[in-house]
Amino acid sequence: MTHDFSNLRVDFPVLDQHVGGHPLVYLDNAATTHKPRSVIDAVARFYERDNSNVHRGLHALSMRATDGYEAARARTAKFINAADPAEIVFTRGTSESVNLVAQSWGAANLKPGDVVLCTEMEHHSNLVPWQLITARTGATLRYVPVVGDDAEGGLDLEAVDRLLTPEVKLFAFTHISNTLGVTNPVKELCAKARAVGAISVIDAAQSAGHEMVDVQDMGCDFLAFSGHKMAAPTGIGVLYGRRELLDTMPPWQGGGGMIANVEYAASTWKPAPERFEAGTPNVADAIGLHAAIDYLDSVGRPALGAHESELAQMACSALSELPGIRILGPRPGSARAGMVNFAFRDVHAHDVVTFADQDGVALRGGHHCNQPLMRKLGLPSTIRASFYLYNTPADVHALVASMRKILKFFGAE
């Protein structure tokens, strides 16, 4: 089934506006995506009709709120093919999910001599939490390098074999890089981690709302993603954890909702997932996430990812003809996820982004929360165009036309 992507724009109210006198061309989707009407309505409906605290009240509204929140959990489990809804912990987003694993599993299991393996292409959210916990436990943090002057070779898979020693207790890696647009062979990486007895943690922030994500097929131990990067509200995220692991982990925050019994001297905890959800959870946005998942599945994820990837390849090929351009990640003509990250020799990224904004084209300029990699590649700042289901080939043309204009303006032809 091929979906018609040309008319999805109308589902997103925010896209119906002009910026700089031009129709908005939103190409900053790797930072955050927009929300369809159905998600906005689901959140509004919750506040208008059902708003209440969960797991506490016996009144009608509290029961409805609890049912809505738990239905969102079950729907999320189905979305990533988790075996059990109890394997879904709601968090604020990918960063909090990774921090949860680091602070709970890491603090309980890491010791001096142990190694946490990560990769050079990680977003700060899957890098800094490991720096914090290795510093605290005395474990060592190592990185799998990327290959090529423009990281066009992706992850160095031979180095993975060399670095995955028995001392490695945890291997954390991204599914799709937010900086390079490369897709890592996550199933293979999980199998390699398992072979040395290491726990695997996948950052799925750039993949969950785009590609099929099947945690059982991947064979991962943990997987983290954010709602706001997949058409859901901000402030709701997911940590998937294998049940056997979650049940052995200590709480990382204490408070209401996570306890079984509290005495003045000590307390006992509920099982997962409640153990990891201290305090009143973000009920409304979990319900928004449910609506977003329904929306994405109505479009269909294999087609959605293919559509974005096609636009990114189209942009990559057209941009590669511009003078003095340097494109990161896969070479033009090669497969890439739905983004393209580039820099011009003669015009700084911030000047480009300001200029494009005047044409109504929203881009990201900067280090993309990946400072060490940018430093390694010798780039202080780059420009990223990232696509989602509502983007079209016309958006690619607008991007390329705007880039041509700025190069001309700065005399960089």
Partner 1 sequence: MSDLTDLYQAVILAHNKRPRNRGKLPTATRVASGDNPTCGDNCTVYLCMDGEKIGAVSFEGSGCAISQASASLMTTQLVGKSPAEAESTFAEFKDIVTTGGEPEAFSEIAAFAGVHAFPARIKCATLAWHAALDALKQPDRPIDD
- Rounded to whole angstroms, the maximal C-alpha distance in the chain is 73
- CB of 30 vs partner 1, minimal distance in Å: 16
The two three-digit tokens of residue 204, written as one number: 């799925």
Measured between alpha carbons, how far is 240 from 89 in angstroms, rounded to an integer?
Answer: 6
Q: Which stretch binds partner 1 (CB under 8 A): 125-133, 239-247, 351-359, 396-404?
A: 351-359
Measured between alpha carbons, how far is 2 from 325 in angstroms, rounded to an integer?
Answer: 34
Measured between alpha carbons, how far is 239 from 225 in angstroms, rounded to an integer?
Answer: 7
DSSP H helical segments within 107-156, as ranges?
A: 107-109, 128-137
Q: 18 vs 111, which CB is nearer to partner 1?
A: 18
Nearest to 399 by CA among 341, 345, 324: 341
- CB of 119 vs partner 1, minimal distance in Å: 21
First to last CA, the chain: 43
Residue 16 is which amino acid?
Answer: D
Q: 153 vs 372, which CB is nearer to partner 1?
A: 372
Give the per-residue contact string, 302-341, with partner 1 (x = CB under 8 A; - = no). Answer: ----------------------------------------
Q: 295 vs 355, which CB is nearer to partner 1?
A: 355
Among this protein's residues, is 190 annotated catalytic? Answer: no
Among 145, 148, 153, 366, binds partner 1 (CB under 8 A): 366
Length reported for the chain: 413
Q: 267 vs 371, which CB is nearer to partner 1?
A: 371
Q: Which stretch binds partner 1 (CB under 8 A): 35-43, 67-75, 316-324, 349-357?
A: 349-357
Among 81, 140, 381, 392, binds partner 1 (CB under 8 A): 381
Q: Which residue of the set 118, 190, 220, 369 is catalytic?
A: 369
- CB of 350 vs partner 1, minimal distance in Å: 4
Could you tell me which residues come within 8 angstroms of residue 128 by beta carbon, excluding any fewer than 6 positions away? Answer: none
Could you tell me which residues come within 8 angstroms of residue 31 by beta carbon, excluding any fewer than 6 positions away? Answer: 229, 364, 386
Catalytic residues, which ones? 369
* List of residues contacting partner 1 (CB under 8 A): 20-21, 347-351, 354-355, 358, 365-367, 371, 374, 380-381, 409-411
